[in-house]
Structure 1
Amino acid sequence: MDDVDYRIGAVECPMDSPSRGIRMTGHTHIVAGVAAAASVAAITHHPITPALLVWGGLGGLAPDLDHPEALLTRRIPGWRTLARWGQGTGWWRHRGLWHSVLLWAVTLLLIPMAGDLGAHGVWALAVGVGHPAWALALWRWWGSDGLWGWGAGYLSHMLVDTWNTSGVQWFWPIRIWVHSPIPNITVGTWPEDVVRWAILGMMVWWMPQVGLLVAVTSWVVYRGIHWL
């Protein structure tokens, strides 16, 4: 079955090139992910916690783990090689499997397991050094609802990437590529800066305090990943 180019518009893009099209930078995806997480929490009346915002930023980066040069890919030991192998063997292509609703749902099942493992590790360390009280205080400050943040951030990445020329295979393995009617936005140029600042501006206008939290958390996540 041939790829179906589902779009509103008339931008031609050969579907046989996994690297075709321009991708948003990691910073933009982090801002979009954190903003999406905060928005979902506010609309559904969930608490806006550090866990929710940070996981939103990480979820905003996660779909690009299918690309060997992506920000998060280069920070996870061995993942760059895995991404190259995946693309080289045809097991995945950029904006294919990793940008699909299917894998988004799978990650929603796996992330709680990773969270529980991390929590048990922190607790074991705290008990081992004889200071479990600080672990409890840290856990209370960190909060819950990280899964909400991850899910919202992941979906925000898929939505933002529909602005790219190559589109996104939202319904993998069905070979339908979804495009936005908005023209392609080139990475690292002023239109992308406008998108990023527009997201932050709308958050500050809607909920000033939350908007500032989104801006600060986005910067912390972005710089934190670079420091790894």
Structure 2
Amino acid sequence: MCGHRNFTHSLVLWIAVLIIGHHFYKPLFWLEIGACSHLLLDTWNLSGVTLFKPLTDRIFVMAGLKYRVKVGSKNELAIMFILALMVWGSFNLAELGGFRGMVRELIGDYNIAYNEHQKQGTKVCYLEDKLRMNNGVL
């Protein structure tokens, strides 16, 4: 009843955990986010997953048999590696200030720096070299 790919792989359980975690205990909320992503990925393997187990025994899959991944295969390992790189990259991207921060780091455009200075207001901003404003004044 509660073994692997039974009730533990049901959205019914994890939606209840989501509600409880969101209102009372944030670490439980993050556990639920991970569990739901796990369920979504399980819909791509050969056997699929019963997402609504107590309500129905219907198996849900996301793709045709040709595009599904066998559990424990090299393809599954490659997908896990790619997803891990994406998570790692998202943390690094957040440290840079999102996509705008990444562009600022890569390009280093003075207009971007000037606009960022205008947005910051009275905060101190340090810039090396000279800065030409949008109207051409140095």
Instruction: Give me the TM-score of the superposition, normalised by structure 1.
Output: 0.33
Q: Paired residue for 2:84?
A: 200
Structure 1 residues 93, 205: closer, same or farther in 2, change over 3 A?
Answer: closer
Does 2:45 match 1:164? yes
Structure 1 residues 93, 166: closer, same or farther in 2, change over 3 A?
Answer: farther
AA aligned opposite 1:178 = F
Unaligned runs of 5+ in 2: 96-138
Q: Paired residue for 2:113?
A: none
AA aligned opposite 1:97 = F
Q: Paired residue for 1:105?
A: 15
Structure 1 residues 185, 110: closer, same or farther in 2, change over 3 A?
Answer: same
Which has the bigger relative contact order, CA under 8 A and spacing at least 6? 1
> Conserved in 2, the CA contact under 8 Å of 1:204 and 1:210?
no
> Conserved in 1, the CA contact under 8 Å of 2:17 and 2:28?
no
Q: Paired residue for 2:28?
A: 147
Structure 2 SS opposite 1:191? helix
Distance 1:204 1:108 in 2: 24
Distance 2:35 2:20 in 1: 14
Q: Paired residue for 1:186?
A: 71
AA aligned opposite 2:50 = Q
Distance 1:92 1:206 in 2: 34
Structure 1 SS opposite 2:69? coil
Does 2:58 match 1:176? yes
Partner deviation per Cα, 1:126-182 (whole Å, 9 max, x = no partner): xxxxxxxxxxxxxxxxxxx32331121110111111122221111222121101213
Structure 1 SS opposite 2:59? strand
Q: How many Å apart are 1:207 and its aligned residue?
A: 4.1
Structure 1 residues 92, 203: closer, same or farther in 2, change over 3 A?
Answer: closer
Distance 2:18 2:59 in 1: 23
Q: Quote the RMSD (CA, aligned, Å).
A: 3.0
What is the percent sequence identity of the aligned residues?
A: 24
Query: More helix by proportion, 1 or 2?
Result: 1
Unaligned runs of 5+ in 1: 1-90, 116-144, 212-228
Structure 1 SS opposite 2:46? coil
